Structures are given as C-alpha cells and as structure tokens.
Amino acid sequence: MLSFKKAYNNPVRCDFEIIVDNARTHTSQTLNINDYRLNPGGNCLLEYIVWKDENDNEHTLDLFFKTGTNKGLSKGLKQIAIQLGFEIPPKTKLADIKALVVKHPAFSSTTKLEALGNKYGVKIILIFHCELNPIEGKWCLEKSYVRKRTNQKFDRMLTLIKEARVYFQKDDEFFTRKLIKRFWNVLVAYKAGANYGEVLKTYFSRRTQENVLNHRKFYDTFLKND
C-alpha cells in the first residue's frame, strides 16, 4: 500500500516514517553475501541485483549467465566481483572475495522492506530490541510480578500468572500510558543521536552496563558448518 502515499501529498506534501520491529519478514536483507558460492552453478536466490552509486544513478547486474557455455547457471561470487570492477587473482579464496565485495554498494545491508520504502519515498525505521515494544513491556512487568513472589513450584506459578493479569488490569490505563510514553521518548532519543547503551541506561535501568553498544544479529549461515 506504500504506492498510495502520493494520495496524501495533495495539497500539502507529507513525509512518512514507518516503525517496525525486528521480525524476519521485516529484517530480511535484499542481499546476504553468505548465500553466494565462489564458482558458477551454485544456489542463487536472485536473478539480478540493483544498486545506486554515489550520484544516485541506478545500476543492474544479472546474476546468471545469459549466453555461452554457462548459460542458465549462476555466475558465482568471483565472477560477480570481477563484473563489479574488482581485480581477483586466480587463486583468491572465497573469504577474501567476500571481504572485498561486501564493501560495494550492491551488497549493502539494506533490507527488503527498506528498499521498498525507498522506492516510494517512505522511511522505514527498524527497532532492534524488544524493550521498545509496549506489548513486550507489559509481559516484562507481569513476569517480574511472578518472579518476585514465586517459590519455584509449578502450581504457585500458575496462580501468580493469574494474579499478575488481574493486578495490571486494575491499572491498565496507567501502565499503558507509561509504556507508550517510554516508547516515544526512546525514539526521540535515537533521533537526537543517542546510542543503544545510553538509551537502555536512561529509560530502562540504571544498572544497565554502559558498555552495551547494540544487539548483534546472527544469520543461519553463520551457524552452519561448511
């Protein structure tokens, strides 16, 4: 529905910012260099890649051979790197090629959702930690209620879960306002240039370690053995 954004630009132009969480459907990248093999014929998820240079000019590169003896086969990362302008010696290892190619704008870390937003002039803001989600905040409060009163018995835990729901339903409006207010304060802090550690310490707990910088995302390909 992003294409309908233009309907809101008449008579006054509006800028849209869409905030989403870190679900896989939101953070799926347009390209993941770890999905590519060194030589032709390997698995390739895309037919071509598109990127913009520093002058905002758009470029396209086919990832499959269109002619010749390898017609129909994927090009492989080595051939892709050569066509992107890199000089690749014959015996260069896959890891070394990845280190070169990943710096190219064609292999930027843009997500599919961000790319779609860029197409229609909509800015996508990804939230990479659950603390900003008011729903997760509500669950956190209820779990804290249970932990403070539990005796590590299953029956007692079930009772406490019911009590926690009732307890927070009594002041549901207060807690909802608190969580949503914190959510917007954090967004304002990020927009002002605060880093992840500063946000956690300011809005979540003074016991938060100052050296916390960010969440690191691990892809499945990092966890698989070659």
Q: For residues 18 and 118, state if they share a domain.
A: yes
pLDDT score at 140: 79
Q: Considering the domain boundaries, does residue 99 fall inside one?
A: yes
Instruction: Round to whole Å and give the CA distance between 197 and 53.
Output: 33
Q: For residues 97 and 138, state if they share a domain.
A: no
Condensed to tens digits (0 to 9), the pLDDT of residues 92-108 reads 888 888 888 877 877 77
Q: What is the pTM of this model?
A: 0.43
Mean of the per-residue pLDDT values of the chain = 76
Condensed to tens digits (0 to 9), the pLDDT of residues 153-185 reads 899 989 999 998 888 877 777 777 877 888 788
Q: For residues 119 and 177, state if they share a domain.
A: no
pLDDT score at 1: 65
Condensed to tens digits (0 to 9), the pLDDT of residues 44-67 reads 777 888 777 778 788 888 889 999
Average pLDDT in the 194-215 region? 64
Of 126, 144, 177, the domain-final residue: 126
Question: How many domains, in total, are found in the chain?
Answer: 2
